Amino acid sequence: MTASLRRWHRADADTLVDIYARADSDLLNNIPDDLSLAGAQTWLDWAGGAEVDGSAVALAIVDGDESPVGNVMATSIDQRNSTAWVSYWLDPSARGQGLAAAALRSFVDYLHDEHNVYRLELGYRLNNPASAAVAASAGFVVEGRQRERLLYDGVRFDTEECARLAGDPRPQRRRLPIRASETTSPDEGGRAGSR
């Protein structure tokens, strides 16, 4: 089985803790502050509840054996203006395989088509060309620069801010299949169903 996207499950908490333990500074700035098992469970509960209330959507990037290796997420979903803030991360061991780019392309389509979000926004540090390449590969267009926007390890970094609109051309490149119709998992005492 190839890599794919799916909803996060409560049983993923141990895997999240393992990923957190290997986190480098890039990843540490994109995950919750509480790196404990309780913190992972709290984040998983938040992710499930946020999708139900429409304020966020988070999907796990999973490898062939179904283990999460990353995340794509839309937060600050504003239904009135049809906007959202997009972010993504990968376990350091899963980088360099094109997974983040393929996952982001799939996720962007999903947000536009299934969640009817018109404008997607994201930002990355100017000194992070890998993240810039992922955003560009998913059709995000640079709209500007924010000076000293992010703070990493006591150092401030400029960011490029990008956006992608529902009507923008869709890059014709690899995408990961999305199994987003799962509403529960066996570890939650339910059967997979459709929304």
Q: Which of 31, 24, 15 is nearest to 66 (CA)?
A: 15
Q: What pLDDT does 24 receive? A: 80
Q: What 8-state DSSP symbol labels residue 193?
A: -
The alpha carbon torsion through 77, 80, 83, 88 (nearest 10 deg) reads 10
Angle between helices 37-53 and 13-21 (to 10 degrees): 120
pLDDT score at 7: 95
In the CATH hierarchy, which fold is given to the domain comprising 4-176?
A: Aminopeptidase (3.40.630)
Question: Around Cβ 96, how many Cβ atoms within 10 Å?
Answer: 10
Q: What is the pLDDT of residue 86?
A: 97
> What pLDDT, on a 0 to 100 scale, did the predictor assign at position 144?
96
pLDDT on residue 1: 47
Write out pLDDT tens, residues 49-72.
998 999 999 999 999 888 999 999
* DSSP helix/strand/coil, 140: coil
* Residue ranges in the chain modelled with pLDDT below 50: 1, 183-195
The structure's pTM equals 0.87
| Lateral strand order in the sheet of 119-125 | 141-152, 155-165, 119-125, 83-90, 68-78, 57-62, 4-7, 178-179
